[in-house]
Structure 1
Amino acid sequence: MTQSLPNTPSNVILTQPGFFLKRERHLEDDNWITKPLHLAPDIPVGLEVLHSVEELTITRNTSKGTICGGKLHYTLSGKHGKQVYAGVEDPNCCCTFCCGPSRSFTIHLNNKWDKEMLRLVRPYRCDGECTLCCCCPFARMRLDIISGYDGRKIGSVTQKLSCFKNLFEAISKSTGEKYKIIGNAFPCRCCMTFSFKIKTINDEDVGEIWKKRYNDKNPNISSAHETFGVVFPSEASVDMKSTLIGAAFLVNHTYFEMS
């Protein structure tokens, strides 16, 4: 872009300001999903990218920190590998190892400009595998999904009482949508793959929260809970998709995270 013109003073800048910065940013943006055009005006700010997303794969980046070695970073990608959000969690080392799957956490989901779009908040709860704890409504697992743009509560995921299966209920506060999330009563954390089914209130299968474990020969890296994801119901709104993202994190941290 820099041009050489005759009789031009040496201190004159002919390169367009910010050109190389914009070009570099454009190349980086190629890895991110773009906001669809011609969306309905009532779609909440920050959730537009979820409108056309059918499923998400969530990967924890072990090279950017461990539970006791800084923040945990997650990449949320769509079906074709385009990044949708970047997740950041700042875990408490003592809480993680003392409380294990029952630990509290807050995960921030940011867009490509590092602006918070969603916040997943889970308070401390008794381990869901304890039968006595599950009978107490104040001890069952719960997660709230908060908008990072205006602070409104988008939805919630709550563990429900069940003796023969793991049962969660995902509710969108704004739209009233409701789904059940069902898994085996005793999921094995050592299994290579595992899934929780997303069902309507009429028990129709409409989606899935899945977990995949990879064999890793590196003894310094634990890959037990690095990759999981969610397949959204085809009729889900962006608010419900946000709620189901929270459900995927809750299921993974509750049943597959090693303490």
Structure 2
Amino acid sequence: MQKDTLQAELGYPAVYPPQYPPATAYTGPQAGYQRPQLTYPGSQSAYPEPQAGYPVPPGGYAGAGSGSFPVQIQPGGPTGTPWIPAPPPPVHCPPGLEYLTQIDQILVHQQIELLEVLTGFETNNKYEIKNSLGQRIYFAVEDTDCCTRNCCGPFRPFTLRILDNLGQEVMTLERPLRCGSCCFPCCLQEIEIQAPPGVPVGYVTQTWHPCLPKFTLQNEKREDVLKVGGPCVVCSCCSDVDFQIKSLDEESIVGKISKHWSGLVREAFTDADNFGIQFPLNLDVKMKAVMLGACFLIDFMFFERTGKQEEKSGVW
């Protein structure tokens, strides 16, 4: 009797333990009950459940949550070799240059033109641009007319178009016509780098010096950023030729552009040259593109041929 009185004071039912209705008595949601939302805010369709074997895109990928994402092919790799998508481009990175943010070395290989070797008839230069593993990341082709190539020789103006592996033009290099004398400032060589085409990101200008080949790398505002200097005698006989990339005060070396020795036969009978470019990994991607433009300007100035005559004579 005391137990029943204590339960009543505490609010417990008179029957202990309390009796609940059987589970079969449940008849569904009561009036006013709302089902949980099956879509995310702003979404118009239910979120698809992942199925067995569903490929989960990497974190940060722009297509994550869309249910599928494209499988890309690694540059230079065998067909069908999947690889993870490239990371989102850094801030202020021109489209198509994202890959340059991940590397600190570029190899430039000029293709051998059989017609030019046999006849001496100057053709448009073509280059393969590769990473340190030999995988092609870009392809460069000169766009000039026949008369300009064969009349102006290595001092010819040209438009060099750089394409990615999808055939899209990501960079354009424009070199104006300048004569072969460095006695006047108007004769100093220059090349403009555009990325994407039509948008200048930097310039390479020759700096006057009586003995040494010197250049200045500038940004899109034509502000000096880096210096480039080469040897007094530009000769690649059985050795590499290095053009050092230095700070503005020329006290520290930040990289180099090297013309590689390609062998006696190739050097003697062709003008298909090989170059290597080294730069800091964290360097601004636009300046990496400008260094690539400096490599092509150096190639035309010191290692290009006209017919069977090689145009190498010191700094000119």
TM-score by length of 1: 0.77
Task: Pick one of 259, 265, 273 that aligns with 1:211.
Answer: 259
Partner of residue 240, structure 2: 193
Query: Once the 2 structures are TM-superposed, how far is the Cα of residue 172 of structure 1 from its aligned partner?
Result: 1.6
Post-superposition Cα deviations, 1:53-109, rounded to whole Å, max 9, x if no partner, equal 211111112158648475432100011112121111134444334333211111100
- Percent identical: 27
| Contact 1:34 1:49 (8 Å CA) reproduced | no
Name structure 1 gaps, 5 residues minimum: 1-21, 128-132
Partner of residue 118, structure 1: 171
User: Relative contact order (alpha carbons < 8 A, sep ≥ 6): 1 or 2 greater?
Assistant: 1
Query: Once the 2 structures are TM-superposed, how far is the Cα of residue 207 of structure 1 from its aligned partner?
Result: 0.6
Query: In structure 1, what is the Cα distance between the partners aligned to 2:222 and 2:206?
Result: 20
Name structure 2 gaps, 5 residues minimum: 1-69, 307-316
Aligned-residue Cα RMSD (Å) equals 3.1
Query: In structure 1, what is the Cα distance between the partners aligned to 2:184 and 2:84?
Result: 44
Query: Once the 2 structures are TM-superposed, how far is the Cα of residue 162 of structure 1 from its aligned partner?
Result: 1.0
Partner of residue 126, structure 2: 73
Partner of residue 50, structure 1: 100
Partner of residue 202, structure 2: 155
Alignment partner of 1:232 is 2:279:
yes
Query: Relative to 1, partners in 2 of residues 1:28 and 1:42: Cα closer, same or farther, differing over 3 Å?
Result: closer
| Contact 1:177 1:240 (8 Å CA) reproduced | no
Query: Which has the greater radius of gyration?
Result: 2
Q: Match for 2:258: what amino acid? A: W
Alignment partner of 1:82 is 2:135:
yes
Query: In structure 2, what is the Cα distance between the partners aligned to 1:222 and 1:242?
Result: 30
Task: Pick one of 219, 242, 255 that aligns with 1:172.
Answer: 219
Match of 1:157, SS state, is strand
| Contact 1:65 1:71 (8 Å CA) reproduced | no
TM-score by length of 2: 0.64
Query: Relative to 1, partners in 2 of residues 1:232 and 1:196: Cα closer, same or farther, differing over 3 Å?
Result: same
Match of 2:185, SS state, is coil
Q: Match for 1:239: what amino acid? A: K
Q: Alignment length, in residue pairs?
A: 230
Post-superposition Cα deviations, 1:123-147, rounded to whole Å, max 9, x if no partner, equal 12122xxxxx323121111000012
| Contact 1:213 1:223 (8 Å CA) reproduced | no
Query: Relative to 1, partners in 2 of residues 1:65 and 1:83: Cα closer, same or farther, differing over 3 Å?
Result: farther
Query: In structure 2, what is the Cα distance between the partners aligned to 1:197 and 1:213?
Result: 17
Partner of residue 134, structure 1: 182
Match of 2:184, SS state, is coil
Partner of residue 27, structure 2: none
| Contact 1:163 1:185 (8 Å CA) reproduced | no
Query: Once the 2 structures are TM-superposed, how far is the Cα of residue 148 of structure 1 from its aligned partner?
Result: 3.2
Query: Once the 2 structures are TM-superposed, how far is the Cα of residue 252 of structure 1 from its aligned partner?
Result: 1.1
Higher strand share: 1
